[in-house]
Amino acid sequence: MMQNQQGQQGQMHQNMHTGNVPPQLNHGGHEVIDLNEVLGAAVGSLNQYMLLRQHVKDPELLDILNRQYKFMQDEYNITVECFRTGQNPSHPTSRYEMNQGNDFIYGMKPAQPKKPWQSVSEINDEYISSCMLAACKSGASMKTMAALETTNPVVRRVLADSVPNCIEMGYELSIYQNKHHYYQVPQLAEADMNHYTNAFAPAQGMPMGQNMGQMQMPNNNLPH
């Protein structure tokens, strides 16, 4: 039994060095750990959406929740599929599209200070949409970091293609919150706005006086 296990490990070790890695094992260590965190967070987001659904009062928010849940579930499934097989999933990553416009209301209006609840009965659409928005932001961040550590080209592509969808769903929720004054957006004074928007100019041409190929790069290994 021990000899058989050693033989299998030796064969796997040889395959790793010769490049003949089975598709389902074509993953690096960092990738495997990061993907487990991404998929675990995706499960948590889906569970959270399901739990919050029964408390939604606004039909518009309920529609957003249902559409996002369905999309996130499909994206989760194809990520699991390509992670387990190391190959292309049954269909490519879809593109999430929101149903509303993208106009923001700028400016601040007086509002009551927020404070912890005294009862679960205080749950409302503002809180629910905030939880959904946090899940989308977290997903975008985690999938970006995982994609940067992923060696399998298919899994990397699925993760990278999923990030814009997280951003789009988060944008949809921020617009919903802004429209209902849950999320207010301040603006700078016009003079300050112009100062910042015109603070940079386009780069032009190549550096003068030396060959780009001979430019010395800073030595980051020098002691500080």
Determine the longest span between alpha carbons in the chain, in angstroms: 77
Q: How confident is the model at residue 5 (pLDDT cuts 50, 70, 90)?
A: low
For residue 174, the model assigns a pLDDT of 96
Cβ pair 121, 197 in contact under 8 A: no
Mean pLDDT, range 144-159, rounded to an integer: 94
- For the stretch 13-44, pLDDT in tens is 444 444 677 767 778 888 999 999 999 999 99
Beta strand spans in 47-156 (E): none
Residue 185's beta-bridge partner residues?
Answer: 106, 107
Question: Hey, what are 166's tokens?
Answer: 């997280």
Cβ pair 66, 140 in contact under 8 A: no
- Element at 85 (helix H, strand E): helix 59-85
What whole-number distance in Å separates Cα of residue 159 and Cα of residue 33?
14
Helix pair angle (125-148, 153-179), 10° resolution: 160
The yes/no answer on whether domain 27-98+124-189 falls in CATH 1.20.1260.10 is yes
Q: How confident is the model at residue 1 (pLDDT cuts 50, 70, 90)?
A: low
- Left (φ > 0), alpha (ψ -120 to 50) or beta: where does 119 sit? beta
Question: Hey, what are 143's tokens?
Answer: 């999938």
**Between the CA of residue 23 and those of 72, 88, 159, what are the distances in Å?**
25, 10, 17
Collapsing DSSP to helix, strand or coil, 177 comes out as helix
Amino acid at 25: L
Place of tokens 């550096």: 207
Provide the residue ranges of all domains of the chain, joining segments of one domain with +: 27-98+124-189
- For the stretch 46-70, pLDDT in tens is 999 999 999 999 999 999 999 999 9
Residue 106's beta-bridge partner residues?
Answer: 185
Q: How confident is the model at residue 102 (pLDDT cuts 50, 70, 90)?
A: confident
What whole-number distance in Å separates Cα of residue 153 and Cα of residue 156?
5
Other beta carbons less than 10 A from residue 57's beta carbon:
10
pTM comes to 0.81
**Per-residue exposure over 87-115, b if at least 16 CB sit within 10 Å of its own CB, e if not:** eebeeebeebebeeeeeeeeeeeeeeeee
